A = this chain, B = another copy of it.
Amino acid sequence: MSDIYRASTTAPVNIAVIKYWGKRDPKLNLPTNSSLSVTLSQNDLRTHTTASCSASYPAEDSLLLNGKPQDVSGARTQACFRQLRALRKDVEANDSNAPRLADLPLKIVSENNFPTAAGLASSAAGFAALVRAIANLYELPADPTELSRIARQGSGSACRSLFGGYVGWEQGSAADGSDSKAFEVAPASHWPNMRAVILVVSAAKKDVSSTSGMQTTVATSSLFASRASETVPRRMKEMQEAVENKDFETFAKVTMMDSNSFHATCLDTYPPIFYLNDVSRAAIKMVEHINAAAGNIIAAYTFDAGPNAVIYYLEENEKQVAGVFKTLLADKDGWSGERGAKVQGNYEAAEKANTEAEVAVGLLKDGVSRVILTGVGEGPRRTEESLINEKGEPVSVLY
């Protein structure tokens, strides 16, 4: 029987505080502006991926995600496979003892530990895990920066999930994308007390959604150009300084302004693209209420291409931020986990919100389906827990 080679990793979700929106090269996933994100803890949200290859496998590469076969024939997945195989060929060319893996069929098995229905951008963690797992399998000498260039071609924001902590994605200017890669702004240990509460908005509340398309924004929004050329470059600097100085107030203000700027260019698209709904607006209102009650900025909202609110705060303000939501949204899923259980309810602040932000509280009670508690975390982690057994068969650690 042929050898079965296997390697596994987990990879994190990241949520941008300076948003990626708009491609200058759609094929290579080259962005029109740089971006910056916080990598979230894999204890809370992660993709777990095992990459495997064997001469005994069917000739076609395959990918199983959450037990369901995925199409791997798309240009994006193929670009990742092709480039990782090329790097493996370099290894094999330089080491005559290295087993010949590059030409063997790949079998990949992947599991997300978070509900797909949550509408969290899972493609970033997914492509980061896929690239990292194959790099492990191939024992590539590639560093996270080099792998980020490959993962970027699978899903733009995936490049940022190759690093932990606070991560930038330099837009670059080379036509071949060689300088469009992720970099570490600061490790998680630099500012470890960053936390996030995610308000997942019920699917039923999502609708009147538009078919998206960041390229439509680039083509039709008259405001987009100044965002890409002026606003984001300025904010990238401000945000990197805020992270370096652990200046939450600036971090928060730039985060909120950049989320608003991104959604403004979506609204300025023709036809307009809407991701924020009345529940999202209620979350913004609540963050404004929490900050007003605190007398300074202790919470920051940001929204990706969907209605879910991600609210960043520092651990020391947990009771004033997550605590208010815990009391107001006590009946929602998500408070029973380890992090959720630790959050202290805040009856006094919730009472004040009930009075002063009554409409917003009502919309959130009605429209939020679950909460997720998390915080800043590390980059991809190698694991011995394999999703493919010694016989080359998929196994599950979750289901």
Are A260 and B256 within 8 A (Cβ)? no
Q: Which residue of B lies closest to A207 (CB)?
A: B359
A246 sits at the interface (CB 8 A): no
Q: Copies per complex?
A: 2
Q: Which residue of B lies closest to A279 (CB)?
A: B278
Q: How many residues of A contact B (CB 8 A)?
A: 37
Instruction: Please pick, from B208, B226, B269, B284, the residue contacting A272 in the complex, using a CB distance under 8 A.
Output: B284
A37 sits at the interface (CB 8 A): no
Q: What residues on B are CB-neighbors of A89 within 8 Å?
A: none
Are B223 and A265 within 8 A (Cβ)? yes
A288 sits at the interface (CB 8 A): yes
Instruction: Please pick, from B208, B222, B264, B285, the residue contacting A268 in the complex, using a CB distance under 8 A.
Output: B264
Instruction: Please pick, from B222, B278, B359, the residue contacting A278 in the complex, using a CB distance under 8 A.
Output: B278
- Report how far A278 CA is from B234 CA in the complex, Å: 33
Q: What residues on B are CB-neighbors of A263 within 8 Å?
A: 267
A365 to chain B, nearest CB (A): 13
Q: What residues on B are CB-neighbors of A274 within 8 Å?
A: 281
A101 sits at the interface (CB 8 A): no
Are A208 and B267 within 8 A (Cβ)? no
Q: What residues on B are CB-neighbors of A223 within 8 Å?
A: 223, 226-227, 231, 261, 264-265, 268
Are B265 and A260 within 8 A (Cβ)? no
Q: What residues on B are CB-neighbors of A230 within 8 Å?
A: 222
Are B268 and A277 within 8 A (Cβ)? no
* Interface of A: prevailing SS: helix
A257 sits at the interface (CB 8 A): yes
Instruction: Please pick, from B257, B270, B278, B281, the residue contacting A270 in the complex, using a CB distance under 8 A.
Output: B257
Are A281 and B277 within 8 A (Cβ)? yes
Binary interface encoding of chain A residues 272-298 relative to chain B, with 1 for a CB under 8 A from any of its CBs, else 0: 101001100110110010000000000
Q: What residues on B are CB-neighbors of A226 within 8 Å?
A: 222-223, 225-226
Are A278 and B208 within 8 A (Cβ)? yes
Q: Which residue of B lies closest to A271 (CB)?
A: B288
- Report how far A218 CA is from B274 CA in the complex, Å: 23
A324 sits at the interface (CB 8 A): no
Are B256 and A208 within 8 A (Cβ)? no
**Max chain B C-beta neighbours (<10 A), residue from A268, A278, A282, A288:** A268
Q: What residues on B are CB-neighbors of A158 within 8 Å?
A: none
A118 sits at the interface (CB 8 A): no
A253 sits at the interface (CB 8 A): yes
Q: Which residue of B lies closest to A286 (CB)?
A: B208
A371 sits at the interface (CB 8 A): no
Q: List 5 A-B contacts (CB under 8 A).
A: A207-B360, A222-B230, A256-B270, A260-B272, A277-B278
